[in-house]
Structure 1
Amino acid sequence: MPHGAALRTPPWTRADLLGLVPLLLILRAGPATTSSAAVALWRHGGGGGTAKVGDYGCYHAQSADRTATVRCSGMGLTQVPPGLPNRTVALYLDRNHISSLPANSFYTMTLLTELDLSHNQLSVLEPGCFRGLSSSLRFLDLSSNWLSTLDPSALGGLRAHANLTHNPWHCDCKLQVSMPQLDLDPSSLAEVVCHSSDLPDMGAVGMPFVLLAEDWDLCLSLRRTTDVAMLVTMFLWFSMVISYLVYYVRHNQEDARRHMDYLKSLPSGPV
């Protein structure tokens, strides 16, 4: 460099400026809120702070092994965004307006280990909504939603450490069958509370589900209803059989009587 020549900073491109956004956010937030995901976002972002996921802009951090952490928190989403990377291992969809999970919502994300759906408006988990995650998912956060029931067919064999607190649960047989499939945090069991129940007269409303399930078999009433329906069906079937037998015997008796009357009317001597 010639003597006296001024040092010149290379021109900043738009991509460079965008790449500084997550770093500035990290520095502004301070070390208390800096997470490993945010650091990974800067280190592996390739100069880009955000990655487009379908039509939604979500923070997308890619690690050295090409797995991804996707954060779509607080974006006002009403559904799971399409086009999520197949190699996503952690997906944060918390603080949105998602009200239902249709079947196969995460079917292609076979590496997903952590799924945060807390603080949404979830009231419906359709059968098969977690299909494809039974062998990979290790943590599931469904807290602070509008869930009242948990169908075993929705879990699809899912076994994960789950947070189900702060939902208006209806404590019934479905919930009792589904709960053992999940590894609930013992410290949060007291906050999984029955807002309604199939046993309202037993003081179940307002009781933690774990205490209710210890003392009552919530499937018992269902089994009793099934047993009663079966008994009624058997009684009706038996009544139909008896009625048919009575009709058959009476009909044959009338035929036999007519036949005997006909035989009696025949001449008895030689003509």
Structure 2
Amino acid sequence: MPHDVSLRMPSSSVVDLLWMQLLLLLVLLWPSLVMTSSPSTMALWRHGDGSAVMKVANNGCYHSESPDGGLTVRCSAIGLTQVPLGLPNRTVRLYLDNNHLSSLPADSFSGLSLLSELDLSHNQISLLEPGCFRGLSSSLRSLDLSSNRLSTLNPAALGGLRAHANLTHNPWHCDCELQLSMPQLDLDPSSLAEVVCHTSDLSDLGAVGMPFVLLAEDWDLCLSLRKTTDVAMLVTMFLWFSMVISYLVYYVRHNQEDARRHMEYLKSLPSRQV
């Protein structure tokens, strides 16, 4: 009998060990199983304050719902190259930071009429197409465009946004185009103080590294453009006057030659006998 017990004990230990390994493997594989089970599968956890956190499998974004019904969508650092489609229209806060976005097409956030906070920082955005923020002018309060590749601000792209915008760490080019755009922007005035010149048409005057609002107070960045335009106009007028004078000289000379030939013809006619 002792001999039989000694034989069964190792078998029970092996079974327990196998069960433990199986459970451990299941725990390790559970996130991938949740993510790959189906396009619409989502994991749901309920917090003590009544809010829910969901991980949506089809785009990798995390959704969290606050007690007031507002939705926060976090799509940070998941390799996005464009704004995800089909975002819930209850979205109040949207985080698209640390991705690979290079541009924002028109109507990128259509349907998100409740959006108040938008984080687009640490992307590669160099182009904001006209209408890319269409529909957000009345709701958006905070816009983070820091650490991108923006060099100018297009009023048609911002679409009348009155939000506070974080515009730091962009390669802003301070020139006449930017100076003409600034008065047309409805952004929170404190946002414009964060536009620091990375390059400028006045780089030889120490403009690089200077906030654009300070540069624009002291210098007319369109002055050189106006001078170039004035010179071009003077050259054009000079050429036009030269052409007119040349034509007049030709016209006078041509008429003089005709008049001379006519006089010679008249002289060659026989005089009439009285």
Question: TM over 0.5, yes or no?
Answer: yes
Q: Which amino acid aligns with 1:183?
A: D
Letter in 1 for 2:188: D
Match of 1:185 among 166, 177, 190: 190
Whole-Å separation in 2 of the counterparts to 1:16 and 1:251: 91
Partners of 2:196 and 2:99 in 1: CA distance: 23
Whichever residue aligns with residue 98 of structure 2, its letter is R
Instruction: For 2:85, give the aligned amino acid.
Output: P
**SS of the counterpart of 1:76?**
coil
Q: Distance in 2 between matches of 1:79 and 1:236?
A: 52
Q: Of residues 205, 209, 232 in structure 1, which corresponds to 2:235?
A: 232
Residue matched to 2:96: 93
1:121 aligned residue: 124
Gaps of 5+ in 2: 1-33, 35-39
Q: Hey, what's the Cα distance between the residues in 2 that align with 1:117 and 1:74?
A: 11
Q: Match for 1:149: what amino acid? A: T
Shift of residue 164 of structure 1?
Answer: 0.5
1:241 aligns with 2:266: no
Aligned 8 A contact 2:51 2:67 in 1:
no
Change beyond 3 A, Cα 1:157–1:237:
farther
Distance in 2, matches of 1:110 and 1:248, equals: 70
Match of 2:134 in 1: 131
- Check the 8 A contact 2:41/2:56 in 1, yes or no: no
Number of residue-to-residue matches in the alignment: 234
Q: Which residue of 1 aligns with 2:74?
A: 71
- Whole-Å separation in 1 of the counterparts to 2:167 and 2:86: 27
CA distance in 1, matches of 2:42, 2:94: 26
Alignment of 1:22-101 (within 5 A): 23=47, 42=52, 49-51=54-56, 55-61=58-64, 68-101=71-104
Range with greater deviation from structure 2 (81-90 or 91-100): 81-90
Alpha-carbon spacing, 1:40–1:59, altered in 2? closer, same or farther (3 Å): farther
Over 3 Å counting, the alpha-carbon distance change for 1:268 and 1:224 in structure 2 is same
Cα distance in structure 2, aligned partners of 1:251 and 1:40: 98
The answer to whether the 8 Å contact 1:141/1:163 transfers is yes
Label 1:133 to 1:174 Cα distance change in 2 as closer, same or farther (>3 A).
farther
Q: What amino acid does structure 1 have at the position aligned with 2:55?
A: T
Contact 2:116 2:141 in 1 (8 A): yes
Which residue in 2 is equivalent to 1:156? 159
Deviation of 1:159 (Å) = 2.9
| Aligned residues of 1:142 and 1:162 also touching (Cα < 8 A) | yes
1:18 counterpart residue number: 43
**Higher Rg:** 2
Instruction: Provide the C-alpha distance between the structure 2 equivalents of 1:17 and 1:240, rounded to a whole number of angstroms.
Output: 77
Contact 1:198 1:218 in 2 (8 A): yes
Q: Which runs of 5+ in 1 are unaligned?
A: 1-13, 28-38
Counterpart-to-counterpart distance in 1, 2:259 and 2:156:
60
